[in-house]
Amino acid sequence: MDYEARKRVIWKEVLQSMQSLFNAPRHLQPDNMKEGRAAYLEALFEAVNSQLSNDMQEEDFTYYCKQISKDMIQSTTIRTWYMPNDLRKCALKHGQIWIGKQAHLASYENPTKPKDTNVDKSNPEAMGWTLEGIAQHKENLRQAIENNELQGTLAQSFRQILDSAESKILARQETPY
């Protein structure tokens, strides 16, 4: 959708319903404030337009503009036009919903390969562990504990993992079959 098409949809679905249901703010009500009204409506348009993806098709864009309008009508407590920041937050919420749906649909089109779950855990070398790597990890763990970056059961769990991998590698070196 181009900029003008987005502007038409936002005007029709969000701003016209707001104008028909609610009063303009007091400082914009006199007839001589047409420039002020235009600037305020432009700010409202930008609040919506900036938060909805440019990748939306026209039917999606129209649907989410209708949803924004419904949400804003339901959440408005005063009978004046929306505040640009409130409208921006609502548009952001609906824009994120659309992005989440697109990501969900994309996961069906391009599924990730399942990880190989048949890894032999009794052979740490097959999983990338080496005695040198374990020694380096132990040194990093010791430093993290001394600097109070790791404490308690988490540090103990890491230490047990390293000890287990080291003992399995040493046991395999003694009995290679």
**pLDDT of the residue at 148:** 84
- Phi–psi pair at 23, nearest 5 degrees: -85, 150
**pLDDT of the residue at 110:** 63
**pLDDT of the residue at 127:** 77
- In this prediction, residues 43-65 reach a mean pLDDT of 94
Look up the pTM and report it. 0.59
The one-letter code for the residue type at 42 is E
- In this prediction, residues 100-121 reach a mean pLDDT of 72
- Taking only the tens place, the pLDDT of each residue in 8-41 is 999 999 999 999 999 888 888 777 788 888 899 9
Residue 108 has pLDDT above 70, yes or no: yes
- Phi–psi pair at 60, nearest 5 degrees: -65, -45
Residue 93 has pLDDT above 60, yes or no: yes
- In this prediction, residues 69-93 reach a mean pLDDT of 93
User: Contact, 52 vs 94, CB < 8 A?
Assistant: yes
User: CA quadruple 70, 76, 78, 84: dihedral positive or negative?
Assistant: negative
Alpha-helical segments (H) within the chain? 3-10, 16-21, 34-49, 58-75, 84-109, 131-146, 152-174
Share the mean pLDDT of the chain: 87
User: What band does 49 get if pLDDT is binned at 50, 70 and 90?
Assistant: very high
Residue 114 has pLDDT above 70, yes or no: no
User: Contact, 92 vs 51, CB < 8 A?
Assistant: yes
- The answer to which of 43-52, 61-70, 108-117, 118-127 has the lowest mean pLDDT is 108-117
Residue 144 has pLDDT above 90, yes or no: no
